[in-house]
Amino acid sequence: MSSTAAVAVHGAHAEPHAPGFWRTYIFSEDHKMIGKQFLFMALFMMAIGGLMAMLMRWELAWPETQVPGFHWVPEPFMYEGAIPPNTYNAMFTMHATIMIFFVVMPILVGCFGNFLIPLMIGARDMAFPKLNMLSFWTGAVAGVILLSSFFVTGGPAAAGWTSYAPLSAVPIYTGVDWGQNLWCISIIVLGASSLMGSINYITTIINMRTKGMYFFRLPLTIWSLFITAILLLLALPVLTTAIALLLFDRLGGTHFFLPAGGGEPLLWQHLFWFFGHPEVYIMILPAMGIASDVISTFSRKPIFGYRAMAYAMIAIAGLSWIVWGHHMFVSGMDPVLGSGFMITTMIIGVPSAIKTFNWLGTLYKGNIHYTTAMMNALAFVAMFVIGGLSGIWMACTPVDMYIHDTYFIVAHIHYVLFGGSLFGVFAGITYWYPKMFGRMMNERLGKIHFWITFVSFNCTFFPMHILGMAGHMRRIYNPQQYDFLKPIIPINEFISISAFVLGAAQFLLLANIIWSYFKGAKATENPWHANTLEWTTPSPPPHGNWPGTVPIVYRGPYEYSSPEVAEDYLPQSQLIEHHRDAADRRSR
Ligand code: HEM
Ligand SMILES: [Cu+2]
């Protein structure tokens, strides 16, 4: 390819001896393999989290009836396949914990962060490869600890993923003993994993960019991962500390969160949400970065407002530290303070809107290629707008008083986390699969997966707004106990049927991932005609990422349809002859 030809090819990256099976696939220090490990761990956990969702949806539509095919589950977890209240509590707790900490974060940050950062900035690996390996394996141990809690007496944690004290602090309140302790330990261990990862990402992006890769030439995916890593570095320790205090309360006889001993339950909420709101941006920023890259590539246009996109992400990250009180409007907070949090929350909508308009600006008059990756990226933008707009309403204190703890909130989280983050993940997987595995994914299967997912997703989660407005509480196992909820039973049934379709559709994604690995068309170096550096090396890249020298960067990442070249793309590493003098002068 012209782009690699522009770079002088020296001797191949010398490999003293090929590492064996264990060092290649299990205890690998290669960022690409670690990225794939995070991907597979997350897909496995997604199946478990998804199963919990399906069981909950059965319960909500047909409460206290037997779930077909689940007679084998032992008591007291299920009774002949019927779900008792405690189990429902455990399910929404584990569903959310798994989806947030073991699906979305490992894929967006663990998989894409690891796979893409060195390849997109022109580095041979992460700054600390051993730490990187340790980060994955620490995360895997955290996952095993969490899953083991399904098998202890009393079952897994049941106090919600938010683990509000005192509910979570006193075992008899939920009837869960070791399940909650293991939940705490798992998230603490996961915090250590995230810390290692974020230190590695930040160091790598600051220190290991190739020649010419100035900060304002970084692809937006890298910008987003950089900012995410900073949020991770600062937010996770707050959660880790809070959970350690919770564990002391449970096991050590302290009373940090227990009023009986002079403790303060609200302290938990403050600590949790001081972590929790930055956390939601940890789960959406990388998807925003991915969507930006995919949308620019398949519109064959430079991203509209590149710098504004980067600054908007910085603004979102900065503001994310001063909005946590919007989760606590009904905690008895002073209305003046509530208004303050309302205003900061509304302000954070501004950079998000800037990003949305920039995506639209990029699409405007673009030469749009409707690939599977592009469809998922477009769905990301659309669903993020719906989730973002409901967020603005929730930010209004008086509105939130009414919809707090209802299905309106459940609709909102799923529009942001599934509609946003997961569609971003689907876009990212289809876009970078050729680079990861050296084969193209099946476009037709990808489109079928996209359309079924997109339609059933909206059928599942949009009606939840209506349930919420009707007063349907979140986290209840049998809505039919309440007369005022009886008229909306049909809506709950419709939602559940849609959810089963949505869940089943994910097997198409899995099938595509597996089928394409063996049968997909061989991927060329740059199948999408994209500009960024990962497309200047073979698919999949060799150990050390480039067979020759590392490419040098001459321009920004989004020079599509540039008048300077005949093709509709101009890779970052392609030197145009009449630019050579200028480039030389600059580097001197
Ligand atoms: C087929 C897809 C899914 C379905 C049918 C589904 C369904 C549900 C249900 C029924 C609840 C419990 C509501 C309640 O009882 O209050 C719930 C809660 C939740 N889900 Fe999902 N979910 C799905 C996917 C996801 C994904 C992909 C994520 C994140 C990436 C996610 C994150 C959450 C969170 C954070 C909660 C909050 C639990 C709480 O109230 O603490 N869900 N979901
Ligand atoms: Cu928040």
- Report whether residue 439 contacts ligand 1, using a CB cutoff of 6 Å: no
Cα–ligand 1 centroid distance for 475 (angstroms): 10
**CA 173: distance to chain centroid?**
32
- Report whether residue 99 contacts ligand 1, using a CB cutoff of 6 Å: yes
- Round to the nearest angstrom and report the end-to-end CA distance of the chain: 28
What predicted TM-score, i.e. pTM, was given to this entire model? 0.93
Distance from C-alpha of 533 to C-alpha of 526, rounded to nearest angstrom: 10
What are the φ and ψ backbone dihedral angles of 79, each rounded to 5 degrees?
-115, 105
Please state, in angstroms and as integers, the Cα–Cα distance from residue 259 to each residue in 107, 190, 246, 517, following that order.
Answer: 39, 29, 13, 56
- What 8-state DSSP symbol labels residue 306? H
Going residue by residue through the chain (588 aa), what tens digit of pLDDT does each one get?
Answer: 344 443 444 434 444 567 788 888 899 999 999 999 999 999 999 999 999 999 999 999 999 999 999 999 999 999 999 999 999 999 999 999 999 999 999 999 999 999 999 999 999 999 999 999 999 999 999 999 999 999 999 999 999 999 999 999 999 999 999 999 999 999 999 999 999 999 999 999 999 999 999 999 999 999 999 999 999 999 999 999 999 999 999 999 999 999 999 999 999 999 999 999 999 999 999 999 999 999 999 999 999 999 999 999 999 999 999 999 999 999 999 999 999 999 999 999 999 999 999 999 999 999 999 999 999 999 999 999 999 999 999 999 999 999 999 999 999 999 999 999 999 999 999 999 999 999 999 999 999 999 999 999 999 999 999 999 999 999 999 999 999 999 999 999 999 999 999 999 999 999 999 999 999 999 999 999 999 999 999 999 999 999 999 999 999 999 999 999 999 999 999 998 766 655 555 554
Ligand nearest the Cα of residue 316 is 2
Task: Identify the CA nearest to 296 among candidates 70, 557, 537.
Answer: 557
- Report whether residue 410 contacts ligand 1, using a CB cutoff of 6 Å: yes
Cα–ligand 2 centroid distance for 417 (angstroms): 13
Please tell me the residue having the least CA distance from ligand 1 atom 12: 92
Cα–ligand 2 centroid distance for 278 (angstroms): 8
Cα–ligand 2 centroid distance for 326 (angstroms): 6
Cβ atoms of 587 and 393 within 8 Å: the answer is: no
Distance from C-alpha of 283 to C-alpha of 195, rounded to nearest angstrom: 16
Sorted by sequence, the CB contacts under 8 Å of residue 282 that are 6+ apart come out as 105, 109, 228, 231, 232, 235
